[in-house]
Amino acid sequence: MSRAYNFSAGPAALPESVLRRAQEEMLEWHGAGASIVELSHRGPEFMQVAVEAEADLRALVGVPDDYAVLFVGGGATTQQALLPLNFAAAGQAADYVVTGHWGRTAIRQAAPYADLRIAASGEIDGFHSIPAREAWRLSEDAAYVHITANETIHGVEFRDVPDVGDVPLFADFSSSIASEPIDVTRYGAIYAGAQKNLGPVGIGVAIIRRDLLERVGQPRADIFDYRLQLANGSMLNTPPSWNWYMLGLTVKWMLAEGGVAEFARRSAAKSTLLYESIDGSGGFYRNQVDSAARSRMNVPFFLHDDALDQPFLEEARAAGLISLKGHRVLGGMRASIYNAMPLEGVQALAQFMREFQQRHG
């Protein structure tokens, strides 16, 4: 059996060396007499895993000391609901900039807890671009401004950090965290589900400017309280220790590969190759996203005739290229090319696309 090039949007491909390491350590972790997932999360073995994962993530992403790092069970969607509970007073305004499906999801999670305002939306042009900053209608009394740094389905990515003045900027980095150097200090909070660039599904991270944790927020259960989670080392209850461990291995792999500057270089090479293949196909394949907002992580594309979708997927699979079916919201195809996808995988896809076009063009 051989591993295919896996273009899944998430859960997504993990580096083979991480999987092998986990396999080696599966029965016994570092002489502990048991697997890490069979040991108490409060014991010295898991404590070491947890502490290293945080230190490594801080080093990888460049998180300053005045930001807390939390490991949160559940998905990014869970955190979308926690944001207003922790950072907005009941009924306070919160501004959302919607550049695709996940921005809309964020609004649905937050709507019961805040006065949600859509400051700008790319919906009118089919989410093919990011609304110009000058056109955003921001509220002075907003608890925060929320953006989706990279829209995983629509393939739209912020290439600059928008200036939103003194109101803290919150960003969903689920599908682009650790893919390039970012200036964390421009954000009040950054959150992400792990299952794209950071490891397996079931855990997420939140990077939060510490002064924001002083906000009263709204009545909420302890388990939904970021401040209490921080005080308890993200272990108010039993954390998803296996996922945390796998995240730690994945972050170590990224550091060893050269860190975010190296992944920015690789992402530029991979995404440029793929967009050139699409744009250079004479309309056989198309992607309509404004070139200034095209995602480096998720490349949605359509074949000129959707009757070719099924043959495309079947022939791709036979060529060792899997999980290219687009999200049901958009249809078509989507190639997700996160940090664990090597350039060779994208080269193989580009070659397959050329050959498919020759056969079916």
Residue 252 designated active-site: no
Measured in degrees and rounded to the nearest 5, phi and psi for residue 197 equal -100, -15
Question: How many angstroms separate the CA atoms of 6 and 335, rounded?
Answer: 9
99 in a known ligand binding site: no
Q: Pattern 132-171, binding to ligand PMP, x per CB under 6 A?
A: ----------------x---x-------------------
Q: Is 76 one of the binding residues for ligand PMP (CB under 6 A)? A: yes
Question: How many angstroms separate the CA atoms of 333 and 233, rounded?
Answer: 41
Task: Output the six-digit token pair for 98.
Answer: 């919607």
Q: Are 72 and 208 in contact (CB under 8 A)?
A: no
Question: How many angstroms separate the CA atoms of 286 and 303, rounded?
Answer: 7
- The residues in 178-217 that bind ligand PMP, with binding defined as CB under 6 A, are 193
209, β-bridge pairs? 67
Query: Annotated catalytic residue: which of 56, 95, 115, 172?
Result: 172
Judged by DSSP in three states, 81 sits in helix
* Contacting residues for 113 by C-beta, under 8 A, at least 6 apart: 81, 84, 85, 88, 90, 218
Residue 172 designated active-site: yes
- The residues in 96-125 that bind ligand PMP, with binding defined as CB under 6 A, are 102
Smaller CB separation from ligand PMP, 177 or 350: 177
Q: Is 94 one of the binding residues for ligand PMP (CB under 6 A)? A: no
Only one of the segments 72-80, 87-95, 264-272, 301-309 lies at the binding site for ligand PMP (rule: CB under 6 A); that segment is 72-80
Smaller CB separation from ligand PMP, 204 or 350: 204
Q: Out of 54, 56, 115, 172, name the contact with ligand PMP by CB under 6 A.
A: 172
Task: Output the six-digit token pair for 358.
Answer: 């020759």
Query: Annotated catalytic residue: which of 56, 95, 102, 244?
Result: 102
Q: Which one, of 181, 180, 160, 178, lies nearest residue 169 by Cα?
A: 160
Residue 196 designated active-site: yes
Q: Are 262 and 338 in contact (CB under 8 A)?
A: no
Contacting residues toward ligand PMP, per CB under 6 A: 10, 75-77, 102, 148, 152, 172, 174-175, 193
Residues annotated as part of the active site: 102, 172, 196
